[in-house]
């Protein structure tokens, strides 16, 4: 039985989807069975040995705050 990995992502702007595809490609080249799926389409984790989850990261800090640090 091959190791199956789900790469699930949420990508409102599309960048996270691109990164998820790249992660999936690397894992596949290492010999793993990979599915790259948008999180809202994932209905079950059955059959997967591991899950990688990606989503948007938001970090906000004004330049004024940054410069005074």
Q: How far apart are CA 38 and CA 35, in angstroms?
A: 10
Flag whether pLDDT at 6 surpasses 70: yes
What's the pLDDT at 67? 56
Flag whether pLDDT at 63 surpasses 70: no
In which domain, by residue range, is 59 found? 4-68
Flag whether pLDDT at 18 surpasses 60: yes
What's the pLDDT at 14? 80
Flag whether pLDDT at 17 surpasses 60: yes
Q: How far apart are CA 31 and CA 49, in angstroms?
A: 14
CATH classification at residue 61: 3.40.50.360
Q: How far apart are CA 39 and CA 50, in angstroms?
A: 15
User: DSSP assignment, residue 21?
Assistant: H
* Structure token pair of residue 36: 């790259």
Helix (H, G, I), strand (E, B) or coil at 17: helix
Average pLDDT, the chain: 87
Number of domains into which the chain is organized:
1
């Amino acid at each position: 039985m091959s190791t199956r990995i789900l790469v699930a992502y949420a990508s409102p702007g599309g960048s996270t989807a691109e990164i998820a595809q790249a992660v999936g490609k690397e894992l596949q080249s290492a010999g793993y069975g990979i599915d790259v799926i948008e999180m809202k389409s994932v209905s079950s984790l059955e059959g997967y040995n591991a899950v990688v989850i990606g989503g948007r990261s938001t970090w906000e800090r004004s330049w004024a705050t940054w410069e005074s640090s």
